[in-house]
Amino acid sequence: MNSSGTSIPAPNAFPHTRWSVVLAARNGEASESAAALESLCQSYWYPLYAYARRQGRSPQDAQDLTQGFFALLLEKAYLNAVAREKGRFRSFLLVAFKRFLAKEWDRDHAQKRGCGRAAIVLDTEFAERRYLGEGTVGLPPDRLYEHRWALTLLERGLARLRGEYNGAGRAAEFELLKGWLAASRGEIPYAQVAAALGVSEGAARVAVHRLRKRFREIFRAEIAATVATGEEVDDEVRYLLGVLSGP
């Protein structure tokens, strides 16, 4: 329950996350597993597109290769090779994509790669504008992939948080407070925030604290959806935060 009396939902419990569902059913034909895998692919395709582009592929080749990879991934038993102890979706996806690229590099095979139909819908025009506009020119392909993966998680978390505040009728509050999500405590001008919100400074501190706390919960939930066990979440959080803070 928030300060306005409107409830904001809690993150999903770990056993119901998408990647753990996929791994649990990787030797079967569970429709729930297929839907979970498709959802993950739809969410995290851009880091692979960026990886292909950084390897020197043209925009068209990167599009064809990414699309074709997902078409095969969603049809074939690639998941049978995933070791439980190495079950992070981030790692699996890049290793599988590298293997795919090693075999399917010829652009003339684009139709074969795509199997004649779209596996997931890719907004490649947006992706190319994004790729060209990013300040990651010096990053090698693997590092760029991980950097984009971490940023995608943050972006998804921010969008989910915005949706919760909008749904609770607190869109204006979110827009006023979102700029302080990553700030250190000493940097937040609570008096200024209070004046903007029209509340006391104490209430402003509570509002900022709750926003930041909820974002951390959502970020962890997004990460949990891409690892195999709950025990991996903390390690993945630390690793991805290190990726974001590094060069």
pLDDT in tens, 9-64: 444 444 456 787 777 766 555 667 778 888 888 889 999 999 999 999 999 999 98
Q: Does 160 score more than 70 pLDDT? A: yes
* Residue 234 within any structural domain of the chain: yes
**How big is the chain by its Cα radius of gyration, in Å?**
20
Stretch among 15-19, 96-100, 119-123, 175-179 having the lowest mean pLDDT: 15-19
Those residues whose C-beta lies under 8 Å from the C-beta of residue 126, and which sit 6 or more positions away, are none
Q: Which of the two residues, 138 and 200, has the higher pLDDT score?
A: 200
| Inter-residue contact 240 to 219 (CB < 8 Å) | no
Structural domain includes residue 136: yes
pLDDT attached to residue 154? 95
Instruction: Give 135's pLDDT tier (boundaries 50, 70, 90).
Output: low
pLDDT range class, residue 83, cuts 50, 70, 90 = low
Q: Give the residue carrying structure tokens 């038993």.
A: 77
Q: How many percent of the chain have pLDDT more than 90?
A: 47
CB 156 within 8 A of CB 221: no
pTM listed for this prediction: 0.81
The number of folded domains in the chain is: 1
Who wins on pLDDT, 201 or 8?
Answer: 201
Cα 112 versus chain centre, distance:
28
Query: Two tokens at 120?
Result: 């997931």
In a domain, 7, yes or no: no
Q: 143 in a domain, yes or no? A: yes
Where is mean pLDDT largest: 31-45, 85-99, 155-169, 175-189? 155-169
User: What is the predicted pLDDT for the residue at 118?
Assistant: 55
pLDDT higher than 50, residue 138: yes
Q: Is residue 1 part of a domain?
A: no
Average pLDDT, the chain: 82
List % helix, strand, coil for the chain (3-state, nearest 5).
70, 0, 30
CA 114, 120, 123, 129 torsion-angle sign:
negative
Whole-angstrom Cα distance, residue 114 to residue 107?
11
In a domain, 3, yes or no: no
Asked if residue 35 is part of any domain, the answer here is: yes
Which residues in 52-90 are b (16+ Cβ under 10 Å) and which e?
Answer: bbbbebebebbbbbbbbbbbbbeeeebbeebeeeebbbb
Provide the pLDDT confidence category of residue 82 given band limits of 50, 70 and 90: low
Euclidean distance between CA atoms 227 and 225, whole angstroms: 6
176: containing domain: 14-245
Which long-range CB contacts under 8 A does 93-100 form with residues at least 24 apart?
93/44, 93/47, 93/48, 94/48, 94/51, 94/142, 94/145, 96/69, 97/48, 97/51, 97/52, 97/69, 100/65, 100/68, 100/69, 100/72
Give a yes or no: residue 5 inside a domain: no
- pLDDT at residue 85, rounded to an integer: 47
